[in-house]
Amino acid sequence: MTISPFVDPQTRRSSVAVDVGGVLVGGGAPVVVQSMTNTDTADVDATVAQVAALHRAGSEIVRITVDRDESAAAVPKIRDRLERLGLDIPLIGDFHYIGHTLLADHPACAEALAKYRINPGNVGFKDKKDRQFIEIIEMAIRYSKPVRIGVNWGSLDQVLLTRLMDENAANGSPLSARDITREAIIQSALHSAALAEETGLARNRIILSAKVSQVQDLIAVYSELARRSDHALHLGLTEAGMGSKGIVASAAAMGIILQAGIGDTIRVSLTPEPGGDRSREVIVAQELLQVMGFRQFVPVVAACPGCGRTTSTVFQQLARTIEDDLRRNMPLWRDKYPGVEGLQVAVMGCIVNGPGESKHADIGISLPGTGESPAAPVFIDGKKAGTLRGPKIAEDFQVMVADYIEKRFGKGE
């Protein structure tokens, strides 16, 4: 039998590593998960609480808006409060239009931030554009900070776009407006990176992003940007949207780009449901990297989808309980049980396929399906370890999972 080679992720694109407050982005480092607050940064209490929540959920870098004097003045206070809570999380300042002034007027803010994010389309108009961009870069040099040059489709440099459109129109076989817009995004990022380097900022202090809102545009733009530069790249779909649409679009776009070996840090920009949890975007980003096999953050709980063989919802509830339990405990367990993030748990709905699946997991249970005897075989490391019966099957299984974790990971094996 001849077996053709299977398709695996492409080798990671080689990029220049950037140190963001102790978190390495690019240069072969694991793809970093980041997120952004939606609090008013001037509200120190609310911002500290949300940064802490995002960090606890697994965000390795958190970006905050710095849009006015009050926000800039709050940044060092936020940094201090986080440190007093023992949270060593790099904070990124997101600046638009007056970033150069805010950084100059608030040196403690410039010092407290681990990175400055600049959008070349929102840095100033006409002759101010390059001047104000350079002023921010000079601040980054003075304070030894990296920057992200973050181009955004919605605020693209209109002068550059118009020039490219005019040149294209004069071309004998013009490209589509969509292609020219994609090209303008890439050129805006590369031109700004070149200007930053000419100003004296080292390449290992520059991360690039080029965010758009359509999946195919994102894939096209990043594929080309990756081909033309070796800067570390931040991936993200802008305005991904709410609920499942935002998750699916982000996963589809970034999954394809990551599979091609491109991307050093990701953010999933989900529009939260009213009153929804901002940490959701962190969990989705982690899950994307984990299901693709690039990183492990939390133990995986495999659950069957259910079918006509089980009309009970017990297995769904148990899978949810176990998953919530594992995620809630991870901040503590990361230190206490080294390697626990690699744990695989299976919760299956009946004994037709359940035992087979359970054997593939580290610990798995097959709950009784409709008409099956009320017994739930449990498998540990591929072998049957016992059978649970009675009304407390779920609780008993939770105890078994906890015991397994203690025995296997408790001594750091």
Site for ligand SF4 in 293-322 (CB under 6 A): 304-307, 309-310
Provide, rounded to whole angstroms, the least separation between the CB of residue 396 and ligand SF4. 20
If one asks whether residue 185 binds ligand SF4 (CB under 6 A), the answer comes out as no
CA distance 290 to 282: 12
Provide, rounded to whole angstroms, the least separation between the CB of residue 364 and ligand SF4. 11
Exposed e or buried b per residue across 321-351, where buried means at least 16 C-beta atoms within 10 angstroms of its C-beta: bbbeebbebbeebeeebeebbebebbbbbbb
Provide, rounded to whole angstroms, the least separation between the CB of residue 380 and ligand SF4. 19
What 3-state class would DSSP assign to 306?
Answer: coil
Residue 197 or 323: the one with the smaller Cβ distance to ligand SF4 is 323
If one asks whether residue 365 binds ligand SF4 (CB under 6 A), the answer comes out as no
CA distance 9 to 128: 43
Residue 141 or 375: the one with the smaller Cβ distance to ligand SF4 is 375
Structure tokens at 163: 């020039």
DSSP strand E in 252-305: where?
265-266, 300-303
Please choose, from the candidates 359, 368, 249, the residue with its C-alpha nearest in 3D space to the C-alpha of residue 302: 359
If one asks whether residue 359 binds ligand SF4 (CB under 6 A), the answer comes out as no
The DSSP annotation for 292-304 comes to: TTS---S-EEEE-
Is 357 annotated in some ligand binding site? Answer: yes
Q: Is 254 within 8 Å of 33 (Cβ atoms)?
A: no
Provide, rounded to whole angstroms, the least separation between the CB of residue 311 and ligand SF4. 9
If one asks whether residue 349 binds ligand SF4 (CB under 6 A), the answer comes out as yes
Q: Is 50 within 8 Å of 38 (Cβ atoms)?
A: yes
Provide, rounded to whole angstroms, the least separation between the CB of residue 305 and ligand SF4. 5
Residue 215 or 304: the one with the smaller Cβ distance to ligand SF4 is 304
Structure tokens at 350: 């009946």
Residue 44 or 346: the one with the smaller Cβ distance to ligand SF4 is 346
Burial of 293 by CB count in 10 Å (0-12 exposed, 13-18 middle, 19+ buried)?
A: exposed
Provide, rounded to whole angstroms, the least separation between the CB of residue 315 and ligand SF4. 7
Q: Is 145 within 8 Å of 109 (Cβ atoms)?
A: no
Residue 243 or 374: the one with the smaller Cβ distance to ligand SF4 is 374
Using CB under 6 A, pick the residue from 350, 361, 378, 380 that binds ligand SF4: 350
Structure tokens at 300: 């995986």
Name the one range near ligand SF4 by CB under 6 A: 37-45, 154-162, 246-254, 342-350.
Answer: 342-350
Residue 279 or 358: the one with the smaller Cβ distance to ligand SF4 is 358
Is 406 annotated in some ligand binding site? Answer: no
Provide, rounded to whole angstroms, the least separation between the CB of residue 316 and ligand SF4. 10
Q: Whose structure tokens read 């800039």?
A: 72
Question: How many residues in the shown chain lie near ligand SF4 by CB under 6 A?
Answer: 13
If one asks whether residue 352 binds ligand SF4 (CB under 6 A), the answer comes out as yes
Residue 309 or 359: the one with the smaller Cβ distance to ligand SF4 is 309
Q: Is 315 within 8 Å of 347 (Cβ atoms)?
A: yes
Would you give the binding string for ligand SF4 spanning residues 195-234, x where CB under 6 A is met? ----------------------------------------
Name the one range near ligand SF4 by CB under 6 A: 180-188, 209-217, 294-302, 351-359.
Answer: 351-359
Task: Please list the helix, strand and coil fractions of the chain in percent, rounded to the nearest 5, in that order.
Answer: 45, 15, 35
Name the one range near ligand SF4 by CB under 6 A: 198-206, 349-357, 379-387, 403-411.
Answer: 349-357
Length of the chain: 413
Q: Report the alpha-carbon angle 334-204-151, nearest 5.
A: 90
Q: Residue 220 CA to chain centroid, in angstroms?
A: 20
If one asks whether residue 354 binds ligand SF4 (CB under 6 A), the answer comes out as yes
Residue 158 or 313: the one with the smaller Cβ distance to ligand SF4 is 313
If one asks whether residue 263 binds ligand SF4 (CB under 6 A), the answer comes out as no
Please choose, from the candidates 350, 372, 374, the residue with its C-alpha nearest in 3D space to the C-alpha of residue 364: 350
Is 239 annotated in some ligand binding site? Answer: no
CA distance 151 to 187: 10
Residue 291 or 307: the one with the smaller Cβ distance to ligand SF4 is 307
Neighbour order of strands in the sheet with 363-366: 300-303, 344-348, 363-366, 375-380, 383-389
Q: Report the alpha-carbon angle 226-191-110, nearest 5.
A: 95
If one asks whether residue 348 binds ligand SF4 (CB under 6 A), the answer comes out as yes
Binding-site positions read 304, 307, 350, 357
Binding-site positions for [4Fe-4S] cluster read 304, 307, 350, 357
* Residues binding ligand SF4 (CB under 6 A): 304-307, 309-310, 348-350, 352-354, 369
